[in-house]
């Protein structure tokens, strides 16, 4: 949980960290404009000078994958200069003293060397973050997509605890507000139906699961698969293995896709799913605190069916006669809202049918970690030191894990392949969605690749770094 646009406009320092807000989070921007009109400073931390970075007061063109290093360098300066909120750390966190010791090595010089930023930029950012309140950090999913991404998100998101930013309305950090929504997922997912010993396969291992025998996936190759709301032939890692299944069709005697066909995997039955405009649903959110009822606004097109109806029919065909399979979509919504969590109190299907959307039962404004009795962690506090991670063989403290193929991790490989690919979404599209609309394709223009100059060369590309133009190269 974290600040929403309703709270973010109260912030006076806003760090847009790894997020192109104008493209991928536009409903936040009006709140940020109101914050700026009230005196807030906007800082973009992004390797690319996006249209968002160009609209901010300051753009820090960090080297890709070094976000955690910058956060550690900021913590070093905050502790060194006595800008930490000692009271908040002692009352609401575990392990802050160990963090203070760890960040001693992250001097401004070392941080600058790793991140590619100037020492003065790092020192100024740390001072502002330690002295301006409320301070709000918006992180997004792009910065986590490398081998050190999980640690990067963890380290950056602990900054508010160090300076006590959670105390303030509009202070803290937000990746997603989805943690505030506590629907009755067990009623929908029915974990009680899963037989003991059933495998759970991480989707990033799909290629292995389809082709290998017990190679880290706990059993023989998968022989049948139902795919919905995904397109693994476009998004799964190790596409070579995923697509290799096409050469041995016996691996997948049947595969259903309720969105797009999985290319080249045959035989395949493609069942057309309805769009959001054609079925009942209930929505939570990444970026606000409202439960929203989705009503069908048009009749179903052609033979399309909601995913729920496809599963009902599959269950009937397979002889599964539990009465739960007869539940309608509206009944499923009713079950999802049937929970005793305090955030959901007063939110019912009947109320949504009358009002269409209802705010969660939380205070307004919402400052979830200002002075909580207990956090949703094993210790009941913010776990700067997390023994549970140590048991998994992971670093229990915040740290910096470089990208897997960077010069720090694999110098020989990096010398052979010195370029790092970034593929931010086009402003006109939602990943691959809407690419079939001619007007948007025309607006986006031809796809382009831009090569950034080597650090220290003194050259600058108009789409990268300080002095860059407004538009990002496509």
pLDDT at residue 104 is higher than 90: yes
Overall average pLDDT of the 11-36 stretch: 95
The label of the residue with tokens 């009358």 reads 354
- Give the pLDDT of residue 135: 98
Q: Which of 174-183, 196-205, 282-291, 312-321 has the lowest mean pLDDT?
A: 196-205
Q: Which of 84-93, 120-129, 227-236, 433-442 has the lowest mean pLDDT?
A: 227-236
Overall average pLDDT of the 332-340 stretch: 96
Between residues 164 and 441, which one has the greater pLDDT?
A: 164
Report in angstroms the alpha-carbon separations of 219 from 204, 212, 249, 354, 409: 16, 9, 19, 49, 32
Percent of the chain clearing pLDDT 90 (strictly above): 62
- Give the pLDDT of residue 252: 34
8 A C-beta contact, residue 227 and residue 255: yes
Please state whether beta strands 281-283 and 290-294 pair in parallel, antiparallel, or not at all (unpaired): antiparallel
Average pLDDT over the chain, rounded to an integer: 87
pLDDT at residue 253 is higher than 70: no
- Give the pLDDT of residue 455: 56
- Give the pLDDT of residue 249: 35
Per-residue pLDDT tens digits for 261-278: 333 333 455 778 898 999
Under the banding of pLDDT at 50, 70 and 90, the label for residue 350 is very high
8 A C-beta contact, residue 245 and residue 211: yes
Overall average pLDDT of the 410-427 stretch: 87
CA neighbor of 236 nearest in space, from 268, 197, 263: 263
Overall average pLDDT of the 239-259 stretch: 52
The token pair that represents 415 in the structure block: 């010398």
CA neighbor of 32 nearest in space, from 50, 17, 16: 16
Under the banding of pLDDT at 50, 70 and 90, the label for residue 18 is very high
- Give the pLDDT of residue 313: 92
Per-residue pLDDT tens digits for 362-410: 999 899 899 888 888 999 999 999 999 999 999 999 999 999 888 888 8
pLDDT at residue 454 is higher than 70: no
pLDDT at residue 255 is higher than 50: no
125-150 b/e (C-beta count within 10 Å ≥ 16 → b): bbebbbebbbbbbbbbebbbebebbe
- Full 3-state SS string of the chain: CCCCHHHHCCCCEEEEECCCHHHHCHHHHHHHHHHHHCCCEEEEECCECCHHHHHCCEEECCCCCCHHHHHHHHHHHHHHCCCCCHHHHHHHEECHHHHHHHHHHCCHHHHHHHHCCCHHHHHHHHHHHHHCCCEEEEECHHHHCCCCHHHHHHHHHCHHHHHCHHHCCCCEEECCCHHHCCCCHHHHHCHHHCCCCCCCCCHHHHHHHHHCCCCCCCCCCCCEEEECCCCHHHHCCCHHHHHHHHHCHHHCCEEEECCCCCCCCCCCEECCECCHHHCCEEECCCCCCEEEEECCCCCCCCCCECHHHHHHHHHHHCCCCCHHHHCCHHHHHHHHCCCCCHHHCCCCHHHHHHHCEEECCCCCCCCCCCCCCCCCCCCCCEECCCHHHHHCCCCCCCCCCCCCCCCCCCHHHHHHCCCCCCCCCCCCCECCECCCCHHHHHHHCCCCCCCCCCCCCCCCCCCECCCCCCCCCC
- Give the pLDDT of residue 227: 82
- Give the pLDDT of residue 232: 79
The token pair that represents 339 in the structure block: 């929970």
pLDDT at residue 470 is higher than 50: no
8 A C-beta contact, residue 273 and residue 258: yes
Between residues 43 and 431, which one has the greater pLDDT?
A: 43
The label of the residue with tokens 């160990």 reads 98
- Give the pLDDT of residue 146: 87
């Amino acid at each position: 949980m974290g600040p929403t646009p309703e709270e973010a406009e109260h912030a006076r320092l806003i760090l847009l960290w790894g997020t192109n807000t104008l493209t991928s989070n536009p409903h936040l921007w009006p709140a940020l404009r109101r914050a700026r009109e009230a005196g807030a400073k906007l800082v973009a931390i992004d390797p690319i000078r996006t249209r968002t970075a160009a609209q901010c007061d300051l753009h820090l063109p960090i080297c890709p994958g070094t976000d955690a290093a910058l956060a550690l360098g900021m913590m070093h300066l905050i502790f060194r200069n006595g800008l930490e909120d000692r009271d908040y750390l002692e009352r609401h966190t575990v392990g802050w003293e160990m963090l203070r010791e760890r960040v001693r090595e992250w001097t401004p010089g070392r941080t600058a060397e790793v991140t590619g930023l100037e020492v003065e930029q790092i020192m100024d950012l740390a001072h502002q973050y330690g002295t301006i309140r409320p301070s709000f950090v918006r992180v997004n999913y792009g910065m986590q997509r490398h081998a050190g991404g999980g640690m990067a998100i963890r380290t950056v998101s602990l900054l508010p605890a160090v300076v006590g930013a959670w105390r303030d309305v509009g202070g803290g950090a937000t990746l997603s507000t989805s943690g505030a929504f506590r629907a009755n997922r067990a009623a929908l997912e029915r974990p009680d139906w899963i037989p003991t010993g059933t495998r759970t396969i991480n989707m990033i291992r799909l290629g292995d699961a389809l082709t290998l025998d017990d190679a880290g996936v706990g059993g023989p190759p998968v022989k049948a698969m139902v795919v919905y709301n995904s397109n693994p032939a476009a998004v799964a890692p190790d596409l070579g293995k995923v697509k290799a299944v096409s050469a041995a069709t016996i691996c997948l005697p049947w595969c259903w896709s309720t969105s797009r066909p999985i290319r080249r995997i045959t035989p395949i039955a493609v069942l057309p799913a309805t769009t959001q405009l054609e079925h009942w649903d209930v929505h939570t959110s990444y970026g606000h605190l409202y439960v929203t009822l989705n009503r069908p606004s048009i009749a179903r097109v052609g033979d399309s069916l909601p995913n729920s109806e496809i599963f009902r029919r599959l269950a009937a065909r397979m002889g599964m006669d539990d009465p739960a399979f007869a539940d309608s979509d509206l009944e499923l919504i009713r079950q999802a809202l049937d929970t005793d969590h305090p955030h959901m109190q007063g939110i019912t299907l009947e109320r949504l049918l009358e009002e269409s959307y209802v705010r969660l039962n939380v205070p307004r404004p919402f400052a979830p970690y200002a002075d909580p009795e207990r956090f949703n962690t094993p210790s009941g506090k913010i776990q700067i030191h997390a023994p549970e991670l140590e048991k998994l063989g992971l670093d229990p403290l915040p740290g910096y894990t470089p990208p897997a193929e960077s010069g720090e991790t694999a110098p020989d490989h990096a010398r052979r392949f010195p370029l790092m690919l970034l593929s931010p979404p086009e402003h006109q599209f939602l990943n691959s969605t809407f690419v079939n609309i001619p007007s948007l394709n025309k607006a986006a223009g031809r796809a382009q690749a831009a090569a950034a100059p080597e650090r220290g060369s003194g050259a600058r590309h108009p789409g990268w770094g300080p002095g860059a133009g407004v538009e990002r190269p496509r």
